[in-house]
Amino acid sequence: MKDLSELDVKGRRVLVRADLNVPLDGDVITDDGRIRASVPTIRELADKGARVVVCAHLGRPKGEPNPKYSLAPVARRLGELLGAEVAFATDVVGESAQGVVDALQDGQVALLENLRFEPGEESKDDARRAAFAEKLAALAEVYVGDGFGAVHRKHASVYDVPLLLSHAAGRLVTAEVEVLKKLTDDLARPYAVVLGGAKVSDKLGVIGNLLTKVDRLLIGGGMAYTFLAAQGYEVGQSLLQKDQLDQVRGFLNEAAKRGVELVLPVDVLAATEFAEDAEYEVVDATAIPADRQGLDIGPRSRELFASKLADARTVFWNGPMGVFEFEAFSGGTRAVAEALVQSEAFTVVGGGDSAAAVRKLGLPEDGFSHISTGGGASLEYLEGKTLPGLVALEA
């Protein structure tokens, strides 16, 4: 991939595909991590005299304008972080966008409205997607791909536009790829991976691929109950994907065959209901009462997981250990995060809920070697899949 420094951008309109898909409560941004991660590339381009046109998506508005998913609050926050006003276009490729872009001076920044307000952005029809891409590309002379969280999507702004313009990878994408290469090509061992989150089905490919590479695989979160059930244990009302039991048994067999240490919770917090103030008790993971559901790993599991991470040289973590949004059930996720902070390993937090948990729990972000901005993109890279956005940047 061409590096950002290789581009001549002074006085030129540069379209930056950023990842600004932040959580909102009304029009209040509750976690600005992705905006902050996008600032270095945008600032560098502006400092070099580019006329920076930022484009991004937010949420799933399904191809039509929806005020709930407007990027207007993001434009305000981006301006605060840059220390300069960010002009905001109220459409993507219409009159407002054209006017805002035409008015830009060297070193100024504009943000277009949500890309997903346009049906062509996510269209699976190549011609429809290409038609939108041409309109978007017409706003600029140069393209910089910096939205790592979207590079696994074959969307117009990610895949088609860079093929139409002189292009390079932004600082964020470059950094993310360098980190992922350390997790695949240049490993320091022991290599431990911690996977959590709700569903095994979301991580089938990555588990299968990781079993050929890791020394230890620690499973927590909702997906752990399908692993426990696959071994014949009662999981009560806990999250369970019955249709994945055979697949999980295959993983257990493969891990044993390859000598991979697969670590599951030994105790859990079994609650009476899925609620912040639910009553709960600590029970063995192999003896969850039929009328209760596991909402977090228990104290012995936290100690076990921390001990399995203590001597690791490389750690990748994706997915919380429990319902970390509920204070009573955040202890498992905190324990894993703190174990990584205390570790001397190369530690990577795989975006998504894991990155959100780090910030919500108030842990130091610089305590980790890298916090990814792209959960899905990171997982697909580790799964060995081809990522369309990276293919386009390499073209």
Annotated binding residues for ATP, written as ranges, equal: 203, 294, 325, 351-354
**Distance (Å, whole) CA 325 – CA 72:** 26
SS3 content of the chain, % helix, strand, coil (to 5): 45, 15, 40
Q: Measure Cα distances from 390 to 45, 328, 387 in Å.
A: 20, 40, 6
Of 222, 319, 352, 375, which one is the catalytic site residue?
352
**20, amino acid identity:** L
**Distance (Å, whole) CA 166 – CA 170:** 13
Which residues lie closer than 8 Å to 379 by C-beta, 6 or more apart? 203, 205, 206, 318, 350
Known binding-site residue numbers? 19-21, 34, 57-60, 116, 153, 203, 294, 325, 351-354
Of 300, 376, 384, 385, which one is the catalytic site residue?
376
Per the annotation, the verdict on 389 as an active-site residue is no
Which residues lie closer than 8 Å to 142 by C-beta, 6 or more apart? 7, 9, 12, 13, 14, 15, 50, 165, 166, 167, 168
Known binding-site residue numbers for (2R)-3-phosphoglycerate? 34, 116, 153
**Distance (Å, whole) CA 281 – CA 291:** 12
Of 12, 13, 17, 34, which one is the catalytic site residue?
34
Per the annotation, the verdict on 352 as an active-site residue is yes
Cis, peptide link before residue 190, omega less than 30° from 0: yes
Q: How is residue 346 annotated by DSSP?
A: E
Of 36, 182, 199, 359, which one is the catalytic site residue?
199
Please report the sign of the dihedral spanned by the C-alpha atoms of residue 119, residue 121, residue 122, residue 128: positive
Residues with a catalytic annotation lie at 34, 199, 352, 376
